[in-house]
Amino acid sequence: MGRSILIVDDDELMRSFFCSVLAEEGYRIEEAKDGKEALGRLIGGEFDLVVTDLRMPDMSGIDLMREAGKTNRDCRWIVVTAHGSIGNAVEAMKAGAADYLTKPLGSPEDLRHVVRRVLRETEKEERISLLSEEVGKRFPPVEMIFLGEKMKEVSRLVREVSPTPATVLITGASGTGKEVMARVIHGLSPRRDGPFVAVQCSALPEALLESELFGHERGAFTGATASRKGRFELADGGTIFLDEIGDIPPSVQVKLLRVLQEREFERVGGTRSLSIDVRILSATNRDLKSEIASGKFREDLYYRLNVFPIALPPLSERREAILPLAEFFSRKFAESFGKPVPGISDEGRNALLLYRWTGNVRELQNVIERAVILAGGDIDVSHLNLEVEADSPPPGEGLLRTQEREAIRRILDEEGGNRRRTAERLGISVRTLQYRIKEHGL
């Protein structure tokens, strides 16, 4: 069913005109002859938009908007005012109206145009809200992402480049959080209200990748029964994130280079050039300079992509983040599985800190997900199923050893020697911290 609109006007002819014009557009229309009737309909039903006259007996359009806003805050408003009453229109906008119309209207198209624009904005806000909710469920909070000394420089770079239109290349091992970082950059940019479109380049064969990125025209290939927009068109006005950019084939590299240079492309099977306004972020776990040397990656494309490089350190180099991330994932999965949020035993914390984490944050997430499923109470070593390598100290001999000594010292310095806050950041008890400080000679 289409969007629902309530028309409010004490002038029956004007009300009827508005209703007929908008009904032709496929909207679900209801009408009210005054503010009191409109208020009853708004309380009893759900509307995406209200088009109301400004001057009506008993209750003005602005008064109606303010009264209805107490119970129906999601509804958008268009106020209709007499020609020349710009002051009233400004007052309506200050009160929360999305737009206004002056009557008499020049043509029915004036009404259609304003309604379409307001409802498009509504749809955009709904998409952003859903995206924000999804991101909040999937990824840790920003302050947790940037935990650790090694991430301080990354945080500085991200905050400097985000407000600019610069193309960014994010490098790092698999599972270090390259897509998360791209989403942070998008979220801190002026394009935050636009779409964020992610493409996993390595997941698609060459023929499908070109169509996925640039779209195709009807009949471009077998099975192309209709024209289709590509990811670049869908990202117009926002950000596109090209993950594993090192895996794209040479034919697609040529087309991508043109997009970077001219912000233009043609759909597969098309002849018309399409212009787009898109910020390009990309990521790879490959050494692209080696790929250039072997002839697999274009050097000119590399320099276009690598305008602003950001390198993400492995999880083994930001151990301060391991326990906070583990606790975040345990909460997330416990809520998802409908289980009580588990704690993590001292032995379990020890194992998490000593493990190598070659799969980085993604591996940590998978390990905690499995542990939450297995654990009846707190997560213990047996639920983690981690194999600590032979050169690591056994769990009973210390919470932190060679690698952890510097972490304790650094966090103590950052917290001005406050042991309680240091213990909280490390996810251990103050008593355990005091023992480790003594053991490490700190």
Residue 131 lies in a domain: no
pLDDT score of 122: 77
Single out the residue in 254, 287, 313 at which a domain terminates: 313
Number of Cβ atoms within 10 Å of the Cβ of 434: 12
pLDDT score of 400: 41
360 plus 391 within the same structural domain: yes
Domain that holds residue 389: 317-439
Residue 134 lies in a domain: no
For residue 274, which phi and psi values (nearest 5 degrees)? -110, 135
37 plus 184 within the same structural domain: no
pLDDT score of 131: 43
Single out the residue in 313, 343, 362 at which a domain terminates: 313
Rounded Cα–Cα distance for residues 297 and 290 (Å) = 9
Tell me how many domains the chain contains: 3
Residue 133 lies in a domain: no
Single out the residue in 269, 293, 313 at which a domain terminates: 313
Contact 77, 68 (CB under 8 A): no
Residue 240: give its domain's CATH number: 3.40.50.300
For residue 269, which phi and psi values (nearest 5 degrees)? 85, 5
- pLDDT by residue for the chain (442 residues), tens only, comes to 468 899 999 989 999 999 999 998 889 899 999 988 998 888 877 788 999 998 888 888 888 888 887 766 678 899 988 766 677 778 888 878 888 888 888 888 989 999 988 887 777 566 544 444 555 556 777 777 888 888 989 989 998 999 999 999 999 999 999 999 999 899 888 898 899 999 998 888 877 888 888 888 877 776 667 778 889 989 999 999 999 999 999 889 999 999 999 888 888 888 788 888 999 999 999 999 999 999 999 999 999 999 999 999 999 899 888 998 999 899 988 988 888 989 999 888 888 988 889 899 999 999 999 999 998 889 988 899 886 543 444 433 344 454 567 677 777 877 778 888 777 666 566 776 777 787 777 7
pLDDT score of 372: 92
293 plus 175 within the same structural domain: yes
152 plus 301 within the same structural domain: yes
Distances (CA, A) of 373 to 320, 328, 346, 367: 25, 15, 19, 10
Any idea what the Cα angle at residue 365 is, between residues 363 and 368, rounded to 5°? 110
Residue 132 lies in a domain: no
pLDDT score of 428: 65
Buried b / exposed e over 125-146, threshold 16 CB at 10 Å, is eeeeeeeeeeeeeebbeeeebb
Q: Could you report how far apart the first and last alpha carbons of the chain are, in Å?
A: 68
173 plus 262 within the same structural domain: yes
pLDDT score of 391: 43
Dihedral class, residue 58 (left if φ above 0, else alpha if ψ from -120 to 50, else beta): left
Q: What is the pTM of this model?
A: 0.59
Contact 195, 235 (CB under 8 A): yes
Residue 130 lies in a domain: no
154 plus 268 within the same structural domain: yes
80 plus 168 within the same structural domain: no
